[in-house]
Structure 1
Amino acid sequence: MIQPLVDPFQRAISYLRVSVTDRCDFRCVYCMSENMTFLPKKELLSLEELDRLCSAFVRLGVRKLRITGGEPLVRRGIMTFFQTMSRHLDSGALDEMTITTNGSQLEKYADDLYAAGLRRINVSLDTLDEAKFAQITRWGRLPQVLRGLDAAQRAGLKVKLNTVALKGFNEEELFTLTAFCADRGMDLTFIEVMPMGDIGNEDRLSQYWALTDLRARLAERFTVTDLPDRTGGPARYVRLEETGQKIGFITPLTHNFCESCNRVRVTCTGEIYTCLGQEGKSDLRAPLRASESDVQLEEAIRAAIALKPRGHDFDYSRQRPDGQMSRHMSHTGG
Structure 2
Amino acid sequence: MIEPRTMATAGLHDAYGRRIDYLRLSVTDRCDLRCSYCLPKGFDGYAEPEDWLTFDEIARVVAAFASLGVQRFRLTGGEPLMRRRLPSLVERLSAIGGVRDLSLSTNGTQLARHAAALRQAGLTRLNVSLDSLDKGCMREVTGRDSLDAVIAGLMAGKAAGLAPIKLNMVLMRGVNDGEVERMAAFCFEHGFILRLIEVMPMGERGRNAHYLPVSAVLPGLIARFGLAPSARELGGGPARYWQTPDGQGQLGVITPISQHFCATCNRVRLSVEGTLYLCLGQEDKVALRPLLRAGCDDAELCAAIVAAIRRKPEKHHFVEAPAKIVRFMSQTGG
Same fold (TM over 0.5): yes
> Aligned partner of 2:229: which letter?
D
After superposition, give the CA deviation of every residue in 1:49-83 in whole Å (9 maximum; x if it has no partner). 11111111111111100000000010122222111
The residue number in structure 2 matching 1:122 is 127
> Aligned partner of 1:69: which letter?
G
Q: Quick one: distance in 2 between partners of 1:98 and 1:214?
A: 28
5 Å matches for 1:166-315? 166-199=172-205, 204=208, 207-230=210-233, 231-241=235-245, 244-291=248-295, 293-315=297-319
The residue number in structure 1 matching 2:25 is 18
The residue number in structure 2 matching 1:87 is 95
Instruction: Report how far residue 133 of structure 1 moved.
Output: 0.8
Q: Secondary structure at the match of 1:298?
A: helix
Instruction: Report how far residue 9 of structure 1 moved.
Output: 0.7
With the length of structure 1 as denominator, give the TM-score of the two structures. Answer: 0.93
5 Å matches for 1:47-58? 47-58=55-66
After superposition, give the CA deviation of every residue in 1:126-156 in whole Å (9 maximum; x if it has no partner). 0011121111100352111111111111101
Q: Quick one: distance in 1 between partners of 2:250 and 2:279?
A: 27
Q: Which 4+ stretches in 1 moved above 3 angstroms?
A: none
Deviates more, 1:79-88 or 1:65-74: 79-88
Match of 2:74 among 37, 41, 66: 66
Instruction: Report how far residue 292 of structure 1 moved.
Output: 5.3
CA RMSD of aligned residues (A): 1.6
After superposition, give the CA deviation of every residue in 1:62-105 in whole Å (9 maximum; x if it has no partner). 110000000001012222211111212xx5x1211000000011
Residue identity (%): 41
Q: Quick one: distance in 2 between partners of 1:277 and 1:292?
A: 30
Stretches of structure 2 that go unaligned for 5 or more consecutive residues are 1-5
After superposition, give the CA deviation of every residue in 1:22-41 in whole Å (9 maximum; x if it has no partner). 00000100000111121111
Q: Quick one: distance in 2 between partners of 1:324 and 1:72?
A: 27
With the length of structure 2 as denominator, give the TM-score of the two structures. Answer: 0.93
Instruction: Report how far residue 222 of structure 1 moved.
Output: 2.9
Instruction: Report how far residue 220 of structure 1 moved.
Output: 3.1
> Aligned partner of 1:226: which letter?
P
